[in-house]
Amino acid sequence: MPEGTESHQVDIDPDTLHNDAHGHGGARARDKTSAGVMEANSQEPGKRVLGPAFWIAVGWIAIIALAAIFANLLPLPNPNLTGAGPAMAGPSLAHLLGTDELGRDLLSRLIFGTRVSLVVSFASIAIGTAIGGSLGIVAGYVGGVVDWMANALAYIILAFPPLLLLLAIAAFSKQTLPKLVAEFAFLSLAPLFRVTRGATLAVANREFVQAAVASGAGRFRILTREILPSVLPSVISYALLGVAIVIVGEGSLAFLGLSVALPTPSWGNMIAEGRTFLAVDPWISLIPSLAMFSLLLALNFSADKLGERFGSREAKL
Amino acid sequence: MIVFVISIGVFLLLHLLPGNPAYAILGPGATPLAVAKVTRQLGLNKPLIDQYVTWLTRALHGNLGTSYLTEQPVSTTIGHAFPVDLELVILSQLIAFALAIPMAITAARRQASILDRIFTMSSFGMLSLPAFVIGVPLVLAVAVTVHWFPATGYTPIYSQPITNLHEMILPSITLAVGSVAIYYRLLRTDLIATLQEEFITLARSKGLSNREVMYRHALRPSTFSVLTATAINVGSLLGGAVVVEYLFGLPGMGLLLVNGIYSRDYVMVQGVILTLAVAFVLVNFLADILYRVIDPRVRHA
């Protein structure tokens, strides 16, 4: 086996062990159990490489993203064009993945369907990271009342089951793409805030920060030049995981028919639609299921590798 | 405190709707007379804070309003649906633990062994299989193709327990997949960390066998983060249960919620969301207490 495929061989390293042990449990587990190991962790850059498997995963995400962005330029029939081919046909040269129950091209629907998932997930996590992340850095470094209040607020938000909140909003108002982005961005605020805050707390009193303070650097400079670079890797790896979680959330909503309205294709609603024809033509629903699985796998895997590489305790849920 | 914030949120949901909430409560085709009656009953012409107090007092007494569709009290309907969720969540967690604990013990005992690698890689796979992705292939494989399990249907557990279990296995497995991965990864890393501690070395030096060390000394201190994760996980399980019930046609809270959303039965939606949210907070609260019971270090801290 090539080195990179053995992703977990590195776990023998006791540092990673601690990272892992306290990463999965979510914010609360971390608070209670990891105080002791927090300081003991040191990073060893350069020792572990990301490996080819990581780059394959990243490449796959990139391919999917590019296909979604340039979907209009690809030689594909309109995803909503019914009767583009015979209904429920198998793969052919004209329709590489076959057609669905209305004769729509499955590959085209699959690629255009990626757009909803990717736009919602990347946009909402970007907003969530920007706002939650900066709040987290400031709260973590400044401390005091600001920190206490922001932290308490995050706890209250986290106390509500997220999908339930989405369903509640979907029940009482119609979903649109911007609205979905706003909802998921709001939901991602609290977790991203807590991760950034935790990472900031861990480095706030390290020597290099004290050195900067001693040499007369201002607060803003310390936050952006000293702390930001050292918390960024763990925040990014967590954000990648957030993207996967948002994709699952949007997919669940779409599966229930409560995301963007039909006939706009999205992987979730394609799976739900194809379900009716499971006995006749399972591929209609299996193809988007496989696509979803592969994308999530790539996201989870690369997020995990990044977290591992940068010795981040906060990388996992 | 948190329950209080939630109750305000759920109360305000009805007011997110454009127009008089009475129309929403009565559904399409409400007569002016009925609207006037509901308006008076809920005090919709009074200030918002009064309305909230009225609503909360009733909710605390178990009165969540009446569905315009079934014309039955929402609390009665929820009373019938809740056991389904309870059974689904408990079964799925039993399955998850039954798989994750032995997997983690095997993997932690011999790190980097072939089994360890297989388990760890497959845990990535399971992590990437939300209910709506794994559910369809599962139904296809064991219900449509070989007819081992029914794809839909529900019999209450108290009338025919065997039929009930037979019908619940597939939904429970669907819900359990993600949990297995989470618990396995947590327990594996915690076990490995515990096995390196001094009291384990001491136990070994006393001449205890590997098995005794693992089950009597290492397992218990390694289970705390799994326990916490379980409590946090209940939130996503509730979400997953909605999808699973929709997929398998189980008459639980999730199906109630989704159907309520489709048929614009807002009182029902409000009631279901309030119940589930409160249940979630309670589970987390109980887990906090349980945590103290199991781990004396937290108790005395």
Task: Give the least confident one: A36-50, A231-245, B30-44, B196-210.
Answer: A36-50
Confidence of residue A46 (pLDDT cuts 50, 70, 90): very low
Do B80 and B203 share a structural domain? Answer: yes
SS3 track for A207-264: HHHHHHHHCCCCHHHHHHHHHHHHHHHHHHHHHHHHHHHHHHHHHHHHHCCCCCCCCC
Q: Does pLDDT of A136 surpass 80?
A: yes
Q: Would you call A159 and B281 a contact, using CB atoms and an 8 Å cutoff?
A: yes
* Distance of residue B261 Cα from the nearest chain A Cα, in angstroms: 5
**B69 within domain boundaries:** no
**B71 within domain boundaries:** no
Q: Would you call A160 and B280 a contact, using CB atoms and an 8 Å cutoff?
A: yes
Q: How many residues does chain B have?
A: 301
Alpha-carbon distance of B182 to B236, in angstroms, equals: 12
Q: Would you call B112 and A297 a contact, using CB atoms and an 8 Å cutoff?
A: no
Alpha-carbon distance of B246 to B253, in angstroms, equals: 10
**B68 within domain boundaries:** no
* ipTM attached to this prediction: 0.76
Domain that holds residue B121: 76-300
Most confident among B207-211, B213-217, B236-240, B251-255 (mean pLDDT) = B251-255
Confidence of residue A90 (pLDDT cuts 50, 70, 90): low
* Distance of residue B139 Cα from the nearest chain A Cα, in angstroms: 9
Q: What is the mean pLDDT of chain B?
A: 75
- Which domain CATH number covers B290? 1.10.3720.10
Do B80 and B56 share a structural domain? Answer: no
Q: What is the mean pLDDT of residues B15-26?
A: 64
In the prediction, which pLDDT does A103 show?
63
In the prediction, which pLDDT does A314 show?
39
Tell me which fold the domain A53-315 belongs to: MetI-like fold (1.10.3720)
Tell me, yes or no, if B200 comes closer than 8 A to chain A by beta carbon.
Answer: no
**B66 within domain boundaries:** no
* Distance of residue B190 Cα from the nearest chain A Cα, in angstroms: 5
Q: Would you call A161 and B235 a contact, using CB atoms and an 8 Å cutoff?
A: yes
Q: Would you call A162 and B235 a contact, using CB atoms and an 8 Å cutoff?
A: yes
CA A60, A64, A65, A67 dihedral sign is: positive
Q: Would you call A11 and B232 a contact, using CB atoms and an 8 Å cutoff?
A: no
Which of A54, A256, A302 best tests the B interface by mutation, with the highest count of B CBs <10 A?
A256
Alpha-carbon distance of B279 to A314, in angstroms, equals: 28
Do B242 and B101 share a structural domain? Answer: yes
Task: Determine what percent of chain B is predicted with pLDDT higher than 90.
Answer: 0
Give A-chain residues touching B2 at CB under 8 angstroms: 156, 159
Q: Are B110 and B195 in contact (CB under 8 A)?
A: no
Do B11 and B81 share a structural domain? Answer: no
Q: Would you call A255 and B232 a contact, using CB atoms and an 8 Å cutoff?
A: no
Q: Which of residues 246-275 of A touch B (CB under 8 A)?
A: 248-249, 251-252, 255-258, 268, 271-272, 274-275
Q: Coil, helix or strand for B37?
A: helix
* Distance of residue B159 Cα from the nearest chain A Cα, in angstroms: 30
Retrieve residue B159's tokens: 């009338």
Most confident among B52-66, B68-82, B196-210, B246-260 (mean pLDDT) = B246-260
Residue of chain A whose alpha carbon sits nearest to that of B228? A29
* Distance of residue A84 Cα from the nearest chain B Cα, in angstroms: 26
Q: Would you call B261 and A171 a contact, using CB atoms and an 8 Å cutoff?
A: yes
Q: Does pLDDT of A74 surpass 80?
A: no
Most confident among B51-55, B148-152, B244-248 (mean pLDDT) = B244-248
Task: Determine what percent of chain B is predicted with pLDDT higher than 70.
Answer: 74
Residue of chain B whose alpha carbon sits nearest to that of A269? B132
Which of residues B254 and A76 earns the better pLDDT score? B254
Instruction: Tell me the pLDDT tens digit for each residue of B153-206.
Output: 666 666 666 767 777 788 888 888 888 888 888 888 888 877 777 777 777 777
pTM recorded for the entire structure? 0.76
Most confident among A41-50, A237-246, B165-174 (mean pLDDT) = A237-246
Confidence of residue A295 (pLDDT cuts 50, 70, 90): confident
What residue type is assigned to position B229 of the chain? A
Q: Does pLDDT of A217 surpass 60?
A: yes
Tell me, yes or no, if A12 comes closer than 8 A to chain B by beta carbon.
Answer: yes
In the prediction, which pLDDT does A14 show?
37
Instruction: Tell me the pLDDT tens digit for each residue of A140-191.
Output: 787 778 888 888 888 777 777 777 778 878 777 777 788 888 888 888 888 8
In the prediction, which pLDDT does B267 show?
77
Q: What is the mean pLDDT of residues B211-227?
A: 74
Which of A24, A156, A247 best tests the B interface by mutation, with the highest count of B CBs <10 A?
A24
Do B139 and B105 share a structural domain? Answer: yes
In the prediction, which pLDDT does B155 show?
66
Q: Number of folded domains in chain B?
A: 2
Q: Which of residues 247-276 of B touch A (CB under 8 A)?
A: 247, 257-258, 260-262, 266, 269, 273, 276
Instruction: Tell me the pLDDT tens digit for each residue of A99-108.
Output: 666 667 778 7
**B145 within domain boundaries:** yes
Most confident among A269-273, A292-296, B2-6 (mean pLDDT) = A292-296
Q: What is the mean pLDDT of residues A233-256?
A: 84
Q: Would you call B127 and A292 a contact, using CB atoms and an 8 Å cutoff?
A: no
Q: Which of residues 182-221 of A touch B (CB under 8 A)?
A: none
In the prediction, which pLDDT does A101 show?
64
Do B85 and B37 share a structural domain? Answer: no
Domain residue ranges in chain A: 53-315
Q: Would you call B133 and A168 a contact, using CB atoms and an 8 Å cutoff?
A: no
